Structure 1
Amino acid sequence: MTTPISILDLAFIGADETAADAFRTSVSIAQRAEQRGYERIWYAEHHNMASIASSATSVLIAHVAAHTSSIRLGSGGIMLPNHSPLAIAEQFGTLATLHPERIDLGLGRAPGSDQNTMRAMRTDPRASDRFPDDIRELQGYLGAASIVPGVIAVPGAGTNVPLYILGSSLFGARLAARFGLPYAFASHFAPTHLVDAIATYRNEFQPSEQLSEPHAMAGINVIASETEDDAERQRVDVSRRRIARFVTPSRELSPAEADDLLSSPQGQQIAQMMHYTAAGTAETVHRYLENFAEAVGVDELMTVHPSPTINERLRSIDLLADARDAVSVAV
Structure 2
Amino acid sequence: MPSQPVFPNPLVEQRADPWVHLHTDGYYYFTGSVPEYDRIELRRARKLEDLTAAETVVVWRKYPTGPMSANIWAPELHFIDGKWYIYFAAARTTETRDGLFDHRMFVLECDAENPLEGQWVEKGQLKTKWETFALDATTFEHRGKRYLVWAQKNPEIFGNSNLYISEMENPWTLKGEQVMLTTPEYPWEVIGFLVNEGPAVLKRNGRIFISFSASATDHHYCMGLLSAPEDADLLDPDVWTKSREPVFQTSEKNRQYGPGHNSFTTLEDGTDVLIFHARSYKEIVGDPLYDPNRHARAQVFGYAEDGTPVFGVPLPDTQKEPAV
Q: Same fold (TM over 0.5)?
A: no
TM-score by length of 1: 0.30
Greater per-residue helix proportion:
1
The structure with more radius of gyration: 1
